Amino acid sequence: MTEPTPDVHVSLTVNQHPVSASIPARLSLADLLRDRLDLTGTHLGCEHGACGACTVLVDDEPIRSCISLAVACAGRDVVTVEGLQGREVDALREAFAEEHGVQCGFCTPGMLVTCVDILRRGRGGTDDEVRTELGGNMCRCTGYVGIVNAVLAAGAAVGR
Amino acid sequence: MKPRPFAYFAPEDVEAATTLLAEYGDDAMVLAGGQSLMPLLNFRLASPAVLVDISRLDELRTTHPIADGGRRMGSALTHSAIEDDRIDDPTGGLLPRVATGIAHRSIRNRGTLGGSLAHADPLAEWPLIMCALGADVQLRSLRGERTVAAADFVQGFFTTDRADDELCVSIDVPALAETHTYGFCKLARQVGDFAEAMAVAIIGWSGDDTIEDVTLWLGATRNRPVVLSRTEQVAVEGVASLLQRDLLAEAVRLDLADVDELGDAHRVQMHSVAVERALREATTERVA
């Protein structure tokens, strides 16, 4: 039987800060962020890639941190909801507040990260398109109408 | 931490990866995008002793032209790369169209073409599409490289022709000629869900807009993608018969019975509808 790998030393960038940690190979990126780095803005819902709450940006692309190994992110540039910056983000924060896009807030970090990517790719111009793009993010309060309206409003505000 | 402990390797090149696979055999699993494997690890449905992470192998993300307008596509190209057509799609839009319907963007940013093929989930898109297009799969090991037709590579329920020491390195996708049209239908209740039924039709046309040949494959079966030979014949016989729902449904039923995929009436109905819609789409441009 092959012995499991002892802890692995990884270095990566998280919210523009260099981070180094010695971690088990089986640690997910989500657990690294939450348990080792105290970045608890990233939420864990299903832990098997179905709910979207743990979505973060890796090298500018949204991915699910619960089904990504932290060791596989060595050398990558990770941005969590705490580190989101830019005009799309400002517009989304305002629109989520204005349109009541937040109820309990559990899905909100994943929603925001996903929505930033939607706007940056120039998607989400219509109600249907927003709903399709947000298909992988669940809101168990079912507050989708407010969230969809917020994305449309933020898109209009940044002149997508 | 949800997965059981494993030995983790992130090889620097394909040779190092195949060396690891040769050494560890069926104790090892290949981690590509991980969008199927990581949930399996988290549920402990899979507990490999060794994980060979190929996500750093840039050489598996290249694409270049091959004979007759086709393309050799690296196995670790993501669904997003195909969706955004960063691959010079040789199929006139079929590949990006299919990629866009796979799961969600955050999954597509990680999940890979070769991973999907090697995983061989009967509900997945790429095994069906690559069978229908007549694509070839390249497998490399320390023993050498070999090429297998996608239709022979995908053998059944999560079962492929890949040996334990082999790595799927690339897929040769032939071009769809201008004389051909395609139709694709995936039926799923929610955006991003796995298909309940799925069919792809490729129709070759003669100069006077009559149908010359029809390739028709059905996915979302219990085992593997199925070629619908009888239904193809019905379709070749003419556009008029394509639009006769009963004729088509009966042909689909017989084709499914041939491969023991019949299932209950609801499943057969879903399959038939997917086939009909794929055929309709493939004929729409030519037949007003």
Domains of chain A: 8-83 (3.10.20.30), 87-157 (1.10.150.120)
- Do the chains contact at A136 and B192, CB–CB below 8 Å? yes
Summarised one tens digit per residue, pLDDT across range A101-152 is: 999 999 999 999 999 999 999 999 999 999 999 999 999 999 999 999 999 9
Summarised one tens digit per residue, pLDDT across range B118-157 is: 999 999 999 999 999 999 999 999 999 999 999 999 999 9
Mutate to test the interface with A, among B79, B104, B186, B194 (most CBs of A within 10 A): B104
* Contact partners, residue B288, CB within 8 Å, separation at least 6: none
User: How many residues are given for chain B?
Assistant: 288
The residue written with tokens 């864990």 in the block is: A44
**Could you give phi then psi for residue B51, rounded to 5 degrees?**
-115, 125
CA distance A17 to chain B (A): 22
* Contact partners, residue B262, CB within 8 Å, separation at least 6: B253, B256, B268
Percent pLDDT > 70 in chain B is: 97
The residue written with tokens 């598996």 in the block is: B60
Are B202 and B180 in contact by the 8 Å Cβ rule? The answer is yes
- Residues pairing with B110 in the sheet: none
Summarised one tens digit per residue, pLDDT across range B62-96 is: 999 999 999 999 999 999 999 999 999 999 999 99
Calculate the CA B41 to chain-centre distance.
23
CA distance B211 to chain A (A): 35
CA distance A33 to chain B (A): 13
Q: What is the pLDDT of residue A151?
A: 98
CA distance B78 to chain A (A): 12
Q: What is the pLDDT of residue A3?
A: 85
Are A25 and B6 in contact by the 8 Å Cβ rule? The answer is yes
Across all residues in chain B, what is the average pLDDT? 94
CA distance B136 to A90: 47
- Do the chains contact at B2 and A2, CB–CB below 8 Å? no
| Closest CB to A117 among B24, B31, B105 | B105
Widest CA span in chain A: 58
CA atoms within 13 A on the CB side of A28: 28
The DSSP letter of residue A69 is: B
Rounded to 5°, angle at Cα B110 from B109 and B111: 110
| Closest CB to A5 among B2, B8, B34 | B8
- Do the chains contact at A52 and B104, CB–CB below 8 Å? yes
- Do the chains contact at A2 and B104, CB–CB below 8 Å? no
The DSSP letter of residue B58 is: G
Does position B288 have pLDDT exceeding 50, yes or no? Answer: no
Segment holding A38, helix H or strand E:
none
Does position B286 have pLDDT exceeding 70, yes or no? Answer: no
- Residues pairing with B187 in the sheet: B197
Does position B248 have pLDDT exceeding 90, yes or no? Answer: no
Mapped onto helix, strand or coil, the DSSP state of residue A92 is helix
What is the count of residue pairs from A and B with beta carbons less than 8 Å apart? Answer: 105
